[in-house]
Structure 1
């Protein structure tokens, strides 16, 4: 295949990837909104809603490493399409059940769990395939498109769901999700998942290696890669401590600062706006020169923003000032999240050997997902017994320490040797 033809196919992959992700995410967002409203209106119980969230997380925590191992053994396109087909089958079964017997809480629980299983295999395999679908020069754009698709669905999904809820039945929400999933499956089936696939760089793994041994070799691989390990642990601790904002945000605004729920909704929209604008910026520019240095600066800035979120709890502001202040805080969170995640995605796609990429992304998915329910439970308890400003100040301070330790100068210079060379040259210049 000529280089010109490969670039043409990569362009097709890039934009098909964006459209399929956006449609799939939008359908999922509308479905999730309708389902959450249905459960809360049916039961009036936050426990029932929390159970659905836990059941959606569990498969990702347990099965992500297994999905990664299979992604390194089997054609990833099969796993992606198989996962999407499983989602369609699961929701279609729920639709048929609802039509015959009516929607019930146990049916939702079972569907959520199986849906989580199929989505785990699909998402891990797709993440491990991005570097094989586009050329390295456009990896940053691909990662930005991924963020942009979630931003659009995050803004449009609840709006569309809110318009539909109360006017249409839950069966319509299920059909919207199924329709979006079918379109996503169709588009992904036309993509080339091996366009830029590299040959194996090692022969360490034997074809007869057991699943457990293959999983262990993935952990050993991460342990031998200081840069990947530093990013992995940084992401874990960030997901854990940034939950302080996710859990405490609405609690602070509603119960402590007594903001109107409509204003709270607008502050949350600030994050989506930040993601949207920053994703477009990254998609329109070339790859950043020193991605890990950018990650360090952006995560440090996010840690400072966590501390800054405590200010209205220490100094009294007016209601409108509180709204404006927290809108800006969420805007920064959204923007800095993209500035962090996009370069991390590029680093992971380019620095992980082809034969280990599935396992490493499976490990990342497992660790990142596990941190969220732990953080949610932990901070949910802490906010009931400790003043919110102390939690935010402590979390931000710990995050700053984590960034400075895990992304220390030696790790940055290991990732970007040219920075070390520049520093040595500067130090060598006589005064």
Structure 2
């Protein structure tokens, strides 16, 4: 009877979590799109647009370790609710300033920084809480649905934002954000964030006291040492960071190669970009109903090898000229397969990593990874921008493909994978022996 009740609560947590994330992501994406258009319209300056983008990115680099510390040290539910509340207050203030005619660009910048910071604390805390919200069997479903909510929000937001911007006033963007985040707040309020927690609450309170005595910096460093002391964790996090860095070659290279070099029309390029998102969404929906992969790190290694080859496939038309229609179809399939590959690779590994990391350290591990990956993205975008301009697309993408393969074989070598899935290699050895016996027989 007790198991049935817990299972029911876990189902409720999962459904509520997905609805909450979906609604808040749509609200955030719609608001961001509207503010970006507004900045471009009133200033006509790409610099001002870039400043707003920068203010939404910097908090991820600077505050991620603090967000991780907060997720591990303080009550997760309270942190998530406070992040929603802070977001609503920030946008409500912006709406009031707009109504009384005191609206300015500086206020948008400040609000962007505040919203980005609140979203970071929310995201890190929610991710570190997933295994407390749902049972072990549905962890992959929860991670996949979380990704689906993000991707659907990022697609619907600009669509809704475009309609609002043409037909309504700026107030509508603020109202949609406030309503969506208020609904998310009320939904999150009903969830049990300790349903599957394995932490003893008395020990947690004692540990919280120790955390505060030690200090935040010392505690963050403990999280970094935790990763460094685990060879499997450090190697797998390293490969994920390198994949993120190499993937910026696609972000920079796709528009450069398709539009500038291969002269694909902007309309067709839009469809190619959309195919990437469609691949991601369909794969997340598939993983949300599929049972968990038995050997996710083995799968990840194979998929990173495929991704490394896909890097090189972007420049195939340079060596084998194709007609525009064939080239368009080729890149649609290429973009779709990359989007699908990214989700197939990331979701099972994220689930396994969270299971490997102790509950006491999940927030700090996520925070540390966020900081590094967020710092690598602008570095990658800047570096690849220069490389594409001065070295050429063919050489850059082929070199990226080879480097990606090299890092994969080094960081995901057999000894590392044996730590993650020793049973896989035992089973593999049995199969080999059976084949030898059959051949010998």
In structure 2, the CA distance between the partners of 1:51 and 1:134, relative to structure 1 (3 Å rule), is same
Query: What residue number does 2:156 align with?
Result: 156
Structure 1 stretches of 4+ moved >4 Å: 200-205, 426-431
Structure 2 CA distance for partners of 1:413 and 1:150, relative to 1, 3 Å:
same
Does residue 25 of structure 2 align to residue 25 of structure 1? Answer: yes
Aligned-partner SS, 1:97 = helix
- Partner residue, 1:401: 406
The aligned counterpart of 1:213 is: 218
- Match of residue 96 from structure 1: 96
Q: 1:246 aligns with which of 251, 265, 277?
A: 251
Deviations 1:366-423 (A, max 9, x none): 1121111111222222222221222211112211111111111111111011012123
Aligned residue among 250, 260, 264 for 2:269:
264
Q: 2:396 aligns with which of 383, 391, 398?
A: 391
**After the TM superposition, which of the residue ranges 400-409 and 92-101 deviates more from structure 2?**
92-101
Q: CA deviation at 1:100?
A: 2.3
- Between the aligned partners of 2:420 and 2:98, the Cα distance in structure 1 is 53
**Other-structure match for 1:56:** 56
Cα distance in 2 for residues equivalent to 1:366 and 1:89: 26
Q: Structure 1 stretch 238-247 or stretch 145-154: which is displaced more?
A: 145-154
Map of 2:38 onto structure 1: 38
Pairs within 5 Å for 1:373-392: 373-392=378-397
Does structure 2 conserve the Cα–Cα contact (< 8 Å) formed by 1:130 and 1:349?
Answer: no
Task: Determine the structure 1 residue equivalent to 2:336.
Answer: 331
Secondary structure of the structure 2 residue equivalent to 1:128: helix
Alpha-carbon distance in 2 for matches of 1:161, 1:325: 31
Per-residue deviation at 1:343?
A: 0.6
> Are the aligned partners of 1:18 and 1:145 in contact in 2 as well (CA < 8 Å)?
yes
Whether the 8 Å CA contact 1:88–1:181 is kept in 2: the answer is yes
> Contact 1:154 / 1:272 at 8 angstroms: preserved in 2?
no
TM-score, normalising length: structure 2: 0.93
Give the corresponding residue for 1:278: 283
Q: Please give the alpha-carbon distance, in whole angstroms, between the structure 2 residues aligned to 1:274 and 1:401.
A: 26
Range 161-170 or range 193-202, more displaced: 193-202
Q: Which structure 1 residue ranges, 5 or more long, are not aligned?
A: none
2:122 corresponding residue in structure 1: 122
Judged with a 3 Å threshold, the aligned counterparts in structure 2 of structure 1 residues 306 and 10 are, in CA distance, closer, same or farther, namely: same
- List per-residue Cα deviations over 1:63-121 (Å, max 9, x = no partner): 11111112111111111111111111111112222222364332221111111111111
Is 1:368 the counterpart of 2:384? The answer is no
Q: For residues 249 and 418 of structure 2, what CA distance do their matches in structure 1 show? A: 31
Larger radius of gyration: 2
Displacement of 1:39 after TM fit? 2.3
> Within 2, Cα distance between the matches of 1:300 and 1:281?
22
Moved more, 287-296 or 146-155: 146-155
How far off its partner does 1:129 sit? 0.5
Q: Shift in Å at residue 11 of structure 1?
A: 0.3
Shift, 1:155, TM fit: 2.6
Per-residue Cα deviation, 1:33-57 (whole angstroms, up to 9, x for no partner)? 2222222233333322222221111
TM-score after normalising by structure 1: 0.95
Alignment deviations for residues 291-322 of structure 1 (CA, whole Å, 9 cap, x no partner): 11111112221121111011123332222222
Whole-angstrom distance in 2 between the partners of 1:299 and 1:102:
51
Number of paired residues?
Answer: 431
List gaps (5 residues or longer) in structure 2.
none
Q: Aligned partners of 1:152 and 1:333: how far apart in 2?
A: 17
RMSD of aligned alpha carbons: 2.0
Cα deviation code 1:166-198 (max 9, x no counterpart): 222222112212211111111111111110001
Instruction: Find the counterpart in structure 2 of residue 79 from structure 1.
Output: 79
Q: Distance in 2 between matches of 1:381 and 1:58?
A: 22
Distance change (3 Å), C-alpha of 1:247 and 1:46 = farther
Following superposition, the deviation at residue 335 of structure 1 comes to 0.4
User: Which deviates more from structure 2 when the two are superposed, residues 361-370 or residues 316-325?
Assistant: 316-325
User: Does structure 1 residue 307 correspond to structure 2 residue 321?
Assistant: no
**Structure 2: distance between partners of 1:85 and 1:127:** 19
- Most deviating of 43-52 and 370-379: 43-52
Shift of 1:427: 4.9
Shift of 1:254: 2.1
